[in-house]
Amino acid sequence: MAAISPATGAPHATILGIGAYRPSRVVPNSAVIEAIDSSDEWIQQRSGIKQRRWAAPDETVQVMSVGAAREAIEQAGIAPAQIDCVVVATVTHLLQTPAIATAIAHELGTENAAAFDISAACAGFCHGVSLAADMVRGGSAGHVLVIGVERLSDITDLHDRGTAFIFADGAGAAVVGPSETPGIGPVVWGSDGEQFDLIRQKEDWRDVVGTPAVPGSGVMPHLVMLGNPVFRWASFAMAKVGQQALDRAGIAVEDLDLFVPHQANMRIIDAMARSMKLPESVRIARDIAEQGNTSAASIPLALHRMVEEGEAQSGDVALLIAFGAGLAYAAQVVTVP
């Protein structure tokens, strides 16, 4: 019987470059408080958010993705033609098919790269980084472009007191490629489907478009979230996941340089840091204050800001941890490019 030749990949994988796209429109708390009968003080106390970015009509999921990707590719020092696969994490590409990743791959000038979207909500970027690292080490791709991108303003109910002030838009990207030393640690990931309903799209698309027998509402679906149980779950369960990711990577908490959690809520970030007993020397991403919660885009945007502002240096060891609807989660230790 003939034997199948196995694929051979790089000994290790690492992040070679990162990029970001932040929409031009800055929306302060003062612009959202009237519709939810709230105040700037209440929003900041509850979430830590001072302002958020919302995309203009021409700042589409594809436009934002391409902008972030071009920066990541340039920083990685490779040509677009060297990208073998494009993975896009998003829940706001509103076409069921085809995947937006295919259009992005074409616009960037890749040469028929494999391209697909993944839907893991706020944990999507960390899922994508893990998939990319496995591809590079397994031999199915030499370089993988991972993008987290959202236009959550499209599916946010601006009158929902629990969510209207939280969600925002943007894109972050990373190029994952070969390395002689480990630059991406083992992933710790999973889901808690028993709590599926805590964060979700409220309306089925059939509620919008209707059926021959029942007319639709014609109103866009929107997100709903039960904030208190999500806060309790993320603050404590995710600290354990973060510690597991450190243990699997062989990194002691004292050796960590950066903590880059999903930018969901400043109180959750602080609670996780306390639960993990992070030393004061660990620098913590707090991009949510200026950007809002951008779901799959939040971790690359937060890491990019830390690099841009000098809080993160090349070679720093960072713990990434993301969690969201599903309830899906993922964490890994990475080296800053």
Q: Which residues are catalytic?
A: 122, 262, 293
- Can you say whether residue 295 is alpha, beta or left, with left for phi > 0 and alpha for psi between -120 and 50 degrees? left
Cα–Cα distance for residue pair 181/140, rounded to 1 Å: 19
What tokens were used for 301? 């945007």
Q: Tokens 């509620």 — which residue? A: 207
- Using an 8 Å Cβ cutoff, are 58 and 25 in contact? no
The beta strand positions in the chain, using DSSP E, are: 12-21, 25-28, 51-54, 85-89, 114-118, 144-151, 169-179, 188-191, 199-201, 223-225, 258-261, 283-284, 317-324, 328-335
Sign of the torsion angle spanned by Cα atoms 177, 256, 150, 328: positive
Q: What are phi and psi of 101, to 5 degrees?
A: -60, -35
- Using an 8 Å Cβ cutoff, are 142 and 263 in contact? no
At 214, the amino acid letter reads V
What tokens were used for 219? 């109103």
Q: Cβ neighbours of residue 245 under 8 Å, at least 6 residues apart?
A: 185, 186, 187, 188, 319, 321, 331, 332, 333
